[in-house]
Amino acid sequence: MGSWTRSGVNRSPHRPPSPPFPLLSRSTLRPPPACFPPQLPTSRASQIPRAPSPPPHLSRACARAPRDLKLDTVEKIVEDFASDMALNPFSSGTRLRDMIRAIRASKTAAEERAVVRRECAAIRTAISERGQEGLRHRNMAKLMFIHMLGYPTHFGQMECLKLIAAAGYPEKRIGYLGLMLLLDERQEVLMLVTNSLKQDLNHSSPFIVGLALCALGNICSAEMARDLAPEVEKLLRSRDVNTKKKAALCSVRIVRKVPDLAENFICLAASLLKEKHHGVLISAVQLCTELCKASKDALEYLRKNCIEGLVRILRDVSNSSYAPEYDVAGISDPFLHIRVLKLMRMLGQGDTDCSEYMNDILAQVATKTESNKNAGNAILYECVETIMGIEATSGLRVLAINILGRFLSNRDNNIRYVALNILMRAITVDTQAVQRHRVTILECVKDADASIRKRALELVFLLVNDTNVKPLTKELVDYLDVADPDFKEDLTAKICSITEKFSQEKLWYLDQMFKVLSLAGNHVKDDVWHALIVVISNASELQGYAVRSLYMALRAYSEQGSLLRVAVWCIGEYGEMLVNNLGMLEAEPPITVTESDAVDAVELGFNCYSADVTTRSMCLVALLKLSSRFPSMSERIKQIVAQNKENMVLELQQRSIEFGSIIQRHQSIRSSLLERMPVLDEAAYLVKRASATQATIPSYKPASGVTPGDLKIPNGVAKPAAAPLVDLLDLSSDDAPVTSTSATPNDFLQDLLGIGGTNLSTAGAPSASTDILMDLLSIGSSPSQNGLLDSSSPAQEKKPFSAVPQVVSLVPEPMDLLGSLSSSASSSAGTKSSTIVPQAADLLDGLSASTSVSGIDDACPSITAFQSATLKIVFDLRKQLGKPQETTIHATFTNLTSTTYTDFIFQAAVPKFIQLRLDPASGNVVPASGKGSVTQGFSVTNNQHGQKPLAMRIRMSYKVNGEDRLEQGQVSNFPPGL
Amino acid sequence: MILQYHTSEIIIFTENFLDNLLRGLVIEYFSVVRPDAAHPANATPADQETQTRLIAIPSQLPSSNLTTSQPSSSSPSMIRFILLQNRQGKTRLAKYYVPLEDSEKHKVEYEVHRLVVNRDPKFTNFVEFRTHKVIYRRYAGLFFSICVDITDNELVYLECIHLFVEILDHFFSNVCELDLVFNFHKVYLILDEFILAGELQETSKKAIIERMGELEKLD
């Protein structure tokens, strides 16, 4: 409070804080809140009439009032006003009432702000001046009103504390009210009030004790709870019922803040349950409930000692005759009913004895409570919850479920809502009983009220099982057509997850998904349609049906984003099935689609205004594929693709140029390049999908649907760097040993490069590098892929790698093919490079290889660095251009025995004049019988190049059938000159 | 008022206009709460004018920090806050039983108002709000909203609201919005006699009115 000072400008300290004047000093007090219009204080002051009374806004309020207000209200105001004038001892300055009127009379927000600002300034002045103590609580009340309007009132916090410390009840009342409104438990200032609270808790007046208890109960922090718990405990024993019930609820707060304190309250709380007064009883019951949550001991204690008391309370209150004081719609104190039932639930949970004790009274409440009023239903609701919660008899459970059935058919929306709510919890107890209400619940999904719909949908989702999935899904899908747009997203997600989870036959799944895509394709999540594509790819007998259905759906619903994507993908892949009606199902009507129709559909999709880059890219890929499927359309497709050579989106531009080249110049390899995608591994995809993090999905997912490649990345080779890509593209299990992925005949890269199968057939690890394809054809515009592609250099590079006859594997390096010339040898060593030479892979543009500058100078022949009966190690040596002392070595480890080595670790040691840097190995499992190998790259720098030859000691440790093995050796057969 | 705290520049731009508009309407809504108008179903036809959809459905709201300030061990089924707002979104009473920043409070008030103000009177009185649930009831132009745990007994809080309104009605003898505005501190006092620490303290209307009478004498 002392941080600001009053200005000394022309103001005598005793001048009353009348409205216009404080503005003069406002600028020195505190900068105005940001929302205030920046006006100079002086000019503002001159605009405001100087006469302090009567304030102009007041007269305006009076002038307006009679016209609009109801007569009795006006009379009341006038009376209040008069009584205020007579009774209020502080008639100087504005009173609370006047201020509220002035604020209400403000015509604009700006005017209101001005009034508030004026008042705040006056209050600040009053705070800083001495001799204004009498006005303090009035100022505080004003501040609270201002606070309620949303203006900052931090400067009043200390005033609260002063008021609390004052002696009289009126001051304390406003002080505590301010404390609760302006402060909360997190403020440091609150610590200062602990002492005042302590004094007030011990005050002789029960009213002041009540105030303190109330404040403590609403805002106490953990520290205060610890400090003041003894006082509250003492007050629990008080004779005054008001004090007792407040103390009980205060204890609730204390126990919530500091659960350790629970044990102090157990006995007291239990003894309070014997009271007759409802206020004390309900507070005590709530305290007991809180204690049960906080401490196991309390739970046990109450189970032993209080269960009879509780049953008695409930019996008394439910059997009591008409008591006007507590009567709500003919039911005596429903609030107490409900709190007792809740506590019973806590006690009976998992305790058969307790539950047994309650059975009778619960049955009585459940049967005898009137259910035509809200209060009765509230009790029944709680009673059902308790029956579901405790170890109730089966008869009681039936009773409860029947009550829910009645609720569900109630006309009141509130009751139906709570019924759905409990049914959701009841489903774990008794699924069959809930299933009986399936039809009603399904109706609730279509309710106009969003709250009910949401609950019902969640419940339906829980109700679905193998037997009812088809009718339920049909209902939901039918409803999807007319559902509210807001609701479609939820509904779509639920339908998709139901169909995926419970689909027994693929045809049904496809049908449902096609319907959903057609009706709400814009709400379908990416992973859902990715999964659909995986399923289609796996269901060879349904591919024709799928593409035809999608084609028809696309014609009817061209605006649905994900429908378009799936349809375009399928048309690209299975175009010929569309045109030739291949793979017809029995009940399927034949359709006539020409090749040109198919291309039209994709072109339309491409030009659809709502299509995004991903969709357009997919369309381009589909067109490219169609150019090979329908050679007659090739020319037209070329034109469509060519239109995008100047597309503003880099991705599309780049693809269209590349695809144009493929169509135009590489007819010989086109058909094999654009073959149908190999079957995607469904199980692995599902695993991936489940484990895929949200972060990687959005950027990489789109590519998975469109990348036409055998997605088998050599196991582990590219793994560390390309983990997300693996995640996305390696749809085969990446845990499979290398040997499992043998060379596939339709390996794209093979075709792409025109490499004969002869040498590849001997490949030890031939899992061909379809990274290339990924980069060539993949569409996701992820920067990493673009970076790899380095599209500015279309030149293809011919790399003079040394071929190793025994271990042939193809380089999974995009840069090798697409010519990222900056790729250093070390990065290629990170992947796999015991390779075969890609023969003049002048793929895309036919620029001569001479334009490419290889980063690798020359390659020395590879050496067999180590060979024993069990293990063979081959080193591939390469030199960096201009760095004669540096050698990049690529080691390939081959297992010569028939048992797999696990935990394989390769270590190397060199003399001091040589520096060694090891890259991570491709894996630590060496498959048996030379069926695969582990590779590891490392580089050595010979600091005494030309003087001393390279020398190295190596050690390999691994496990055979869990047994440790160790092999060592020295490599001395390095070629000279290293 | 609310507008200036929460919204984009566009609304600030039209603030004066809206404010005037609202002020023009204000008087019309000061109808006195009568017992027969207490139930939403009995509201006058003029009160049921809007059938428009919710602006935002609760599930789309950002996740709540209403619970973050709570000790994680127990999830108390307590009242998180009580709001009393008029149709224009002016807060007439706001009582928080969980600590929230002031800015957060304004946001909560704004969002709750948006949620409840346009709901069809035939709809449920429960709206999901962030991770909690708001039970609201409308009396003439005033909305009483209580925010509780998602698993709590909604119906009983509906009764609570009604009991609270009855107490107010008794205390102010035919309460109207103006009573609540000018005597806001007394309303807080009544509330403190009715609910404490987010739990029900007294269920007897008579007891609270008597207690208030005693307290009035001290003032």
Q: Helix/strand/coil (H, E, C) string of A466-485?
A: CCCHHHHHHHHHHHHHHCCH
How many whole angstroms separate alpha carbon A26 and alpha carbon A121? 6
pLDDT digits (tens, 9 = 90+) for A787-838: 333 333 333 333 343 333 333 333 344 333 333 333 333 333 333 433 333 4
Q: Do residue A335 and residue B203 have CB atoms under 8 angstroms apart?
A: yes
Q: Which residue has the tokens 């042939």?
A: A808
How many whole angstroms separate alpha carbon A548 and alpha carbon A575? 9
Residues whose CB falls within 8 Å of the CB of residue B50, separated by 6 or more in sequence, listed in order: B117, B118, B120
Q: Which residue of B has its CA nearest to A323?
A: B204
Residue B76 is predicted with a pLDDT of 64
Residue A877 is predicted with a pLDDT of 81
Which range of A114-118, A428-432, B76-80 scores highest in mean pLDDT? It is A114-118
Interface residue A293 vs chain B (CB under 8 A): yes
Q: Which residue has the tokens 């008409």?
A: A322
Residue A83 is predicted with a pLDDT of 47
Q: Which residue of B has its CA nearest to A95?
A: B182
**A residues 233-252 closer than 8 Å to B (CB):** 242, 245-246, 249-250, 252
Q: Do residue B205 and residue A325 have CB atoms under 8 angstroms apart?
A: yes
pLDDT digits (tens, 9 = 90+) for A20-70: 323 223 333 333 333 333 333 333 333 333 333 333 333 333 333 334 444
Q: Do residue B71 and residue A257 have CB atoms under 8 angstroms apart?
A: yes
How many CA atoms, within 13 angstroms, populate the side-chain half-sphere of residue A651?
Answer: 22
Q: Which residue of B has its CA nearest to A248?
A: B201
Q: Is the pLDDT of residue A695 over 70?
A: no
How many whole angstroms separate alpha carbon A650 and alpha carbon A660? 15
Which of B199, B205, B206 shows the shortest C-beta gap to A286?
B199
How many CA atoms, within 13 angstroms, populate the side-chain half-sphere of residue A673?
Answer: 26
**A residues 652-681 closer than 8 Å to B (CB):** none
Q: Give one DSSP letter per residue of A56-76, joined into a string.
A: HHHHHHHHHHHHHS-HHHHHH
How many whole angstroms separate alpha carbon A809 and alpha carbon A892? 11
Q: Which residue of A has its CA nearest to B206?
A: A325
pLDDT band of residue B146 (cuts 50, 70, 90) is very high
pLDDT band of residue A93 (cuts 50, 70, 90) is low
> What is the separation of C-alpha A815 from the centre of its chain, rounded to a whole number of angstroms?
36
Residue A101 is predicted with a pLDDT of 86
Which of A249, A334, A448 shows the shortest C-beta gap to B197?
A249
Q: Which residues of chain B have a CB within 8 Å of the CB of A76?
A: 178-179
How many whole angstroms separate alpha carbon A401 and alpha carbon A639? 68
Interface residue A371 vs chain B (CB under 8 A): no
Alpha-carbon Rg of chain B, whole angstroms?
A: 17
What single-letter amino acid sits at B31?
S
Average pLDDT over residues A654-670: 83
Q: Are A820 and A793 in contact (CB under 8 A)?
A: yes
Minimal CA separation from B46 to chain A, in Å: 17
How many whole angstroms separate alpha carbon B102 and alpha carbon B105? 5
CA distances from A194 to A104, A164, A222, A613 (A): 37, 11, 12, 63
CA distances from A861 to A180, A495, A858, A874, A877 (A): 84, 61, 10, 11, 7
Q: Which residue of A has its CA nearest to B5?
A: A150
Residue A649 is predicted with a pLDDT of 85
pLDDT band of residue B15 (cuts 50, 70, 90) is very low
Identify which of A163, A179, A162 has the alpha carbon closest to the alpha carbon of residue A171.
A163
Long-range contacts of A84-92 (CB under 8 A, 24+ apart): A89/A134, A90/A134, A90/A135, A90/A138, A92/A16
Average pLDDT over residues A746-765: 37
> What is the separation of C-alpha A399 from the centre of its chain, rounded to a whole number of angstroms?
40
Pick A881 or B57 by higher pLDDT: A881
Q: Is the pLDDT of residue A910 over 90?
A: no
* Alpha-carbon torsion (B6, B10, B16, B18), positive or negative: negative
Interface residue B21 vs chain A (CB under 8 A): no
Q: Which residues of chain A have a CB within 8 Å of the CB of B159?
A: 328, 334-335, 374-375, 378
How many whole angstroms separate alpha carbon B38 and alpha carbon A327? 17
Q: Which residues of chain B have a CB within 8 Å of the CB of A97?
A: 182
Phi, psi of A933 (to 5 degrees): -150, 160
Residue of B61, B155, B163, B194 best to disrupt the A interface, most CBs of A under 10 A: B155
Counting residues of chain A whose pLDDT is more than 70, the rounded percentage is 72
Q: Is the pLDDT of residue A465 over 90?
A: no
Residues whose CB falls within 8 Å of the CB of residue A603, separated by 6 or more in sequence, listed in order: A619, A623, A640
Helix residue ranges per DSSP H, chain B? 2-6, 9-13, 15-26, 102-117, 154-171, 177-182, 184-194, 205-218
How many whole angstroms separate alpha carbon B84 and alpha carbon B175? 14
Return the axis-axis angle of helices B184-194 and B154-171, rounded to nearest 10°: 130
Q: Are B183 and B82 in contact (CB under 8 A)?
A: no
Which of B5, B59, B155 shows the shortest C-beta gap to A378?
B155
Q: Do residue A293 and residue B28 have CB atoms under 8 angstroms apart?
A: no
pLDDT band of residue A772 (cuts 50, 70, 90) is very low
Tokens of A666: 């590489």
Q: Is the pLDDT of residue A266 over 90?
A: no
How many whole angstroms separate alpha carbon A460 and alpha carbon A479? 13
Return the axis-axis angle of helices B154-171 and A334-348, rounded to nearest 10°: 150
Q: Which residues of chain B have a CB within 8 Å of the CB of A259?
A: 71, 73-74
Q: Are A661 and A624 in contact (CB under 8 A)?
A: no
Average pLDDT over residues A628-657: 85
Minimal CA separation from A564 to chain B, in Å: 27
How many whole angstroms separate alpha carbon B144 and alpha carbon A644? 59
Tokens of A907: 């270590």
A448 sits in which H/E element: none
Residue A861 is predicted with a pLDDT of 67
Long-range contacts of A202-206 (CB under 8 A, 24+ apart): A202/A231, A205/A169, A206/A238, A206/A240, A206/A242, A206/A243
Tokens of A173: 């009342």
Average pLDDT over residues A580-597: 79
Q: Which residues of chain B have a CB within 8 Å of the CB of A104?
A: 181
pLDDT digits (tens, 9 = 90+) for A940-967: 888 877 777 788 888 888 888 878 888 8
Three-class DSSP category at B30: coil
Which range of A140-149, A900-909, B160-169 scores highest in mean pLDDT? It is B160-169
Q: Is the pLDDT of residue A181 over 80?
A: yes
**B residues 113-172 closer than 8 Å to A (CB):** 120, 122-128, 153-156, 158-160, 163
How many whole angstroms separate alpha carbon B77 and alpha carbon A287? 12
Identify which of A136, A129, A193 has the alpha carbon closest to the alpha carbon of residue A159.
A136
Interface residue A410 vs chain B (CB under 8 A): no
Cβ-Cβ pairs closer than 8 A, A with B, add up to: 218
**B residues 172-211 closer than 8 Å to A (CB):** 174, 176, 178-179, 181-182, 184-185, 188-189, 192, 196-197, 199-207, 211
Q: Do residue A325 and residue B204 have CB atoms under 8 angstroms apart?
A: yes
pLDDT digits (tens, 9 = 90+) for B81-139: 999 998 888 888 899 988 888 888 888 999 999 888 888 888 888 888 888 889 999 88
User: Omega into A37 within 30° of 0, i.e. cis?
Assistant: no
How many whole angstroms separate alpha carbon A632 and alpha carbon A729? 32
Residue B145 is predicted with a pLDDT of 93
CA distances from A111 to A24, A50, A513, B7, B16 (A): 17, 17, 59, 20, 10
Which of B1, B32, B185 shows the shortest C-beta gap to A141?
B185
Residue of B128, B156, B157 best to disrupt the A interface, most CBs of A under 10 A: B156
Residues whose CB falls within 8 Å of the CB of residue A284, separated by 6 or more in sequence, listed in order: A245, A248, A269, A272, A273, A275
Residue A80 is predicted with a pLDDT of 52
Q: Which residues of chain B have a CB within 8 Å of the CB of A333?
A: 203
Counting residues of chain A whose pLDDT is more than 90, the rounded percentage is 0
Interface residue B29 vs chain A (CB under 8 A): no
pLDDT digits (tens, 9 = 90+) for A668-681: 777 778 877 777 77
**A residues 208-227 closer than 8 Å to B (CB):** 213-214, 217-219
Q: Integer distance in angstroms from the first to the last C-alpha of chain A?
A: 79
Please state, rounded to an integer, the average pLDDT across all residues of chain A. Answer: 71
Pick A79 or A275 by higher pLDDT: A275
Interface residue A138 vs chain B (CB under 8 A): no
Number of helical H runs and strand E runs in chain B: 8, 7
**A residues 267-286 closer than 8 Å to B (CB):** 278-279, 282-283, 286
Identify which of A171, A237, A246, A181 has the alpha carbon closest to the alpha carbon of residue A213.
A246
Q: Which residues of chain B have a CB within 8 Å of the CB of A416?
A: 124
Residue B147 is predicted with a pLDDT of 92
Long-range contacts of A873-881 (CB under 8 A, 24+ apart): A873/A906, A873/A954, A873/A956, A874/A804, A874/A806, A874/A807, A874/A834, A875/A971, A876/A802, A876/A804, A876/A833, A876/A834, A877/A974, A877/A975, A877/A978, A878/A825, A880/A825, A880/A855, A880/A856, A881/A854, A881/A855, A881/A856, A881/A857
pLDDT digits (tens, 9 = 90+) for A397-441: 888 888 888 888 888 888 888 888 888 887 877 777 778 888 888
Q: Do residue B30 and residue A69 have CB atoms under 8 angstroms apart?
A: yes
Minimal CA separation from A386 to chain B, in Å: 12
Which of B1, B74, B200 shows the shortest C-beta gap to A256?
B74
Lowest mean pLDDT among A821-825, B24-28, B67-71: B24-28
Please state, rounded to an integer, the average pLDDT across all residues of chain B. Answer: 70
Residue B82 is predicted with a pLDDT of 92
B91 sits in which H/E element: strand B91-96
CA distances from A104 to A108, A623, A653, A737, B93 (A): 10, 68, 62, 78, 16
Which of A68, A107, A293 shows the shortest C-beta gap to B74?
A293
Q: Do residue A336 and residue B203 have CB atoms under 8 angstroms apart?
A: yes
Which of A174, A214, A257 shows the shortest C-beta gap to B185?
A174
Burial label for A472, CB within 10 Å (0-12, 13-18, 19+), is buried
Three-class DSSP category at A644: helix
Q: Give one DSSP letter per residue of A868-903, joined into a string.
A: -SSEEEEEEEEEETTEEEEEEEEEEEEE-SSS-EEE
Q: Are A298 and A284 in contact (CB under 8 A)?
A: no
Q: Do residue B185 and residue A144 have CB atoms under 8 angstroms apart?
A: yes
Taking residue A332's Cβ as centre, other Cβ atoms within 10 Å add up to 21
